[in-house]
Amino acid sequence: MDCVRSRLPQAQRRTQLVSAALDIAIAEGIAATTIRRVAKRAGVALGVVHYCFADKDDLFVALAERIVTDLLGAASDAPGFDDAEDLAVALRCAVDGLWEGIEATRAAQLLTYEITAHALRNPALNHVAERQYAVSRAAVSALLSSAATSTRSAWLRPVDEVADEVLAMLDGITLRWLVDGDGVAARARLARFTDYVRTYAKTTRRRRKGSA
Amino acid sequence: MDCVRSRLPQAQRRTQLVSAALDIAIAEGIAATTIRRVAKRAGVALGVVHYCFADKDDLFVALAERIVTDLLGAASDAPGFDDAEDLAVALRCAVDGLWEGIEATRAAQLLTYEITAHALRNPALNHVAERQYAVSRAAVSALLSSAATSTRSAWLRPVDEVADEVLAMLDGITLRWLVDGDGVAARARLARFTDYVRTYAKTTRRRRKGSA
DNA sequence: GTCTATAGTTGGATAGAC
DNA sequence: GTCTATCCAACTATAGAC
């Protein structure tokens, strides 16, 4: 609520500038996210950005970190599986939720791929790409674990491995959807794959109908 | 063999310049592929590039087309499945071949994603991304068909749909491999998925051992 | 028809003012 | 400690020479 004009402490400036950078990056891509544009959008002079960030890469690192943070936040907001008794249902529910989040943020998804590519080209930014994946992996892994335990099931393989496969498929489907925009086909692919993934788990004990 | 110095007809210049652009793009990424760099690499003056290509986008379109052409060429070079009798074996063989081609061209794979992202951000270049996918799809589809017929099997679902799923998984696995460089894990994921895909087909008639 | 020389824009970085 | 004014490099594009 307070005024964000001038003479801000560096920490606040940084978050303000990262927000501006994120806006631009989502809307117009990483190539359009120049220091000048960020400064203009934030309403500060050009040099202010250079005062807060050592160089452009430094700004990108902060931007990537913000995206990862947002992703973590979104993942923890993910609702439970209601009262799904069946693992197949729980999985579908979880994956549908994931996909809904993806489909609602097309530009942000594209940005994620752009940042990955950018990070892979720049040796100094390699850790950014790795961190992106580590966080996504952990989120999917947690989702799979949760889906299993809440339906009294167990994964027959290391859940991290399953998560890696799910993540790969999710990435591939998302990329394809970014290109052709066919959400129906994407969901169909995802549903098929989810059914397949379900075979990696067994239900340990079947809950009786009226047990709750 | 002839001299490529000066006063070349436009068509030859174009292919020469696209080759130079490809070299730079593979080695340093799309962002580093500037008109100046291309001109310098090709050993021509800056304006020559602008004479051959309307603008930078025009050059990129030609570059993307070259990559697609190369991909088509590589796909048609793909060897058969030797004398695989079993569809599972044929599929593994085909997918291994695909993967080998991917793992041998890391920078080119990364470039493909960069071009996709670039094309998705630029409305005028959307068709480039679509064409990329159309070609890959067709190649995978042909491979699946060939694998089935050569082992006297048949896909129980439209082969294009299966190809789409394979392509998605392949994309996801490739992207992941670009980030973590773990070729062993990538192959393992791919093998698992291939085994799964095999369940989408049935073998129509089993060849007798000594029938050939 | 092919290429050269040059103009004009945009961008990252810094020295120094307040 | 925070910000302003300025510099210089790199890029795209074009007008015009050969």
User: Nearest protein residue to C6's C1' (by CA)?
Assistant: B47
Name the pLDDT band for A207 (thresholds 50, 70, 90): low
Q: Which of A43-57, A80-94, A166-180 has the lowest mean pLDDT?
A: A80-94
- The residue of chain A nearest to residue B114, with distances taken between CA atoms, is A117
- The residue of chain B nearest to residue A190, with distances taken between CA atoms, is B165
A182 touches strand C (CB under 7 A): no
B142 touches strand C (CB under 7 A): no
A189 to B196: CB separation less than 8 angstroms, yes or no: no
CB atoms within 10 A of CB B78: 15
Q: How confident is the model at residue B3, as a pLDDT?
A: 54
Q: Could you tell me where the DSSP H helices lie in A5-55?
A: 10-28, 35-42, 46-52
- The residue of chain A nearest to residue B181, with distances taken between CA atoms, is A130
A 88-147: CB under 8 A from B = 110, 113-114, 116-118, 120-121, 129-130, 132-133
pLDDT of A15 higher than 70: yes
**From the CA of A147, how many Å to the C1' of C8?**
60
B179 to A121: CB separation less than 8 angstroms, yes or no: no
Tell me how close the Cα of B158 comes to any Cα of chain A, in angstroms: 13
Q: Are A147 and A81 in contact (CB under 8 A)?
A: yes
- Of chain B residues 56-75, which have a beta carbon within 7 Å of strand D? 56
Q: How confident is the model at residue B82, as a pLDDT?
A: 66
pLDDT of A59 higher than 80: yes
B47 touches strand C (CB under 7 A): yes
Tell me how close the Cα of B135 comes to any Cα of chain A, in angstroms: 13
pLDDT, tens digit, 9 for 90 and up, residues B124-135: 999 999 999 999
User: What is the percent of chain A with per-residue pLDDT over 70, rounded to a whole number?
Assistant: 93
DSSP for B18-62 reads HHHHHHHHHHH-STT--HHHHHHHHT--HHHHHHHSSSHHHHHHH
A46 touches strand C (CB under 7 A): yes
Helix (H) or strand (E) holding A201: strand A201-203
pLDDT, tens digit, 9 for 90 and up, residues A132-167: 999 999 999 999 999 999 999 999 999 999 999 999
Alpha carbons B171 and B155: distance in angstroms, whole number: 22
pLDDT, tens digit, 9 for 90 and up, residues B8-36: 999 999 999 999 999 999 999 999 999 99
pLDDT, tens digit, 9 for 90 and up, residues B105-160: 999 999 999 999 999 999 999 999 999 999 999 999 999 999 999 999 999 999 99
Alpha carbons B98 and A135: distance in angstroms, whole number: 29
A31 to B121: CB separation less than 8 angstroms, yes or no: yes
Q: Which of A4-8, A9-13, A29-33, A135-139 has the lowest mean pLDDT?
A: A4-8
pLDDT of A21 higher than 70: yes
pLDDT, tens digit, 9 for 90 and up, residues A71-96: 999 888 877 776 778 999 999 999 99
Average pLDDT over residues B170-191: 98
Q: How confident is the model at residue A190, as a pLDDT?
A: 98
N-terminal to C-terminal alpha carbon distance within chain A: 48
Q: How confident is the model at residue B5, as a pLDDT?
A: 67
Give how far the C-alpha of residue A202 lies from the chain's centroid of Cα atoms, to the nearest Å. Answer: 28
The crossing angle, in degrees rounded to 10, of helices B159-180 and B87-103 is 40
User: What is the percent of chain B with per-residue pLDDT over 90, rounded to a whole number?
Assistant: 87
A61 touches strand C (CB under 7 A): no
Q: How confident is the model at residue A204, as a pLDDT?
A: 85
Is some CB atom of chain B closer than 8 A to the CB atom of A75? no
The bridge status of strand B201-203 relative to strand A201-203 is: unpaired
Average pLDDT over residues B48-52: 98
Q: Give this prediction's pTM.
A: 0.94
Name the pLDDT band for B75 (thresholds 50, 70, 90): confident
Mean pLDDT of chain A: 93
The bridge status of strand B201-203 relative to strand A153-155 is: unpaired
CB contacts < 8 A (A, B):
100
Tell me how close the Cα of A183 comes to any Cα of chain B, in angstroms: 14
User: Which positions in chain A touch B123 (Cβ < 8 Å)?
Assistant: none
* Nucleotides in chain C with any atom closer than 7 Å to protein CB: 1-6, 10-16
The crossing angle, in degrees rounded to 10, of helices B126-150 and A159-180 is 120
- What are the residues facing A154 on neighbouring strands? A202
Average pLDDT over residues A167-182: 98
